[in-house]
Structure 1
Amino acid sequence: MKYELDLMDARADGKAEGKAEGLKQGKVEGLKQGKEEGISATIQALQNMNAHRDQIIEQLTKNFDLTLAYAQEYYNKYTAKQNR
């Protein structure tokens, strides 16, 4: 009987840990997706205002705390999608 109770407790603990980890991963993915959407929208908005590539990349580095290399990568990624 004690063994069965211990198994039930272990199972409940495992479920709780799994749920907590799943929520944590979901939050991380949601934040990442939101950041990507913000970057894409920023690029599009600045292009609509006829901003030059270098100005857009500079704004990405400032507003999203990106390195120059990452800002250029995002710029290329999202402008390539627009040009398809």
Structure 2
Amino acid sequence: MDIKDTILAITGKSIRQLRKARGWTLEDLGDAAEVDPSKLSKIERGLINAEYTTIVKIAIALGVQLNNVFVIPYSKENAK
């Protein structure tokens, strides 16, 4: 896995964890961020390189600072 793939995977996992922590579905986040849920799914799985503006909209919808989208929050699941 190269650095680009690693960054996409970390960003996607972080967004998924933040979304699930709020109890939101992909559709909920899609509505809040005005991003198609299928695109969000691809972002969360690290399959596409989202535009900066899309990441900003996701962070705003989730109510987090932009830098929080690029780190994986600590959880017991991640510590395994």
Q: Same fold (TM over 0.5)?
A: no
TM-score computed with the length of structure 2 as normaliser: 0.33
Higher relative contact order (CA 8 A, sep 6+): 2
Give the helix-richer structure, 1 or 2.
1
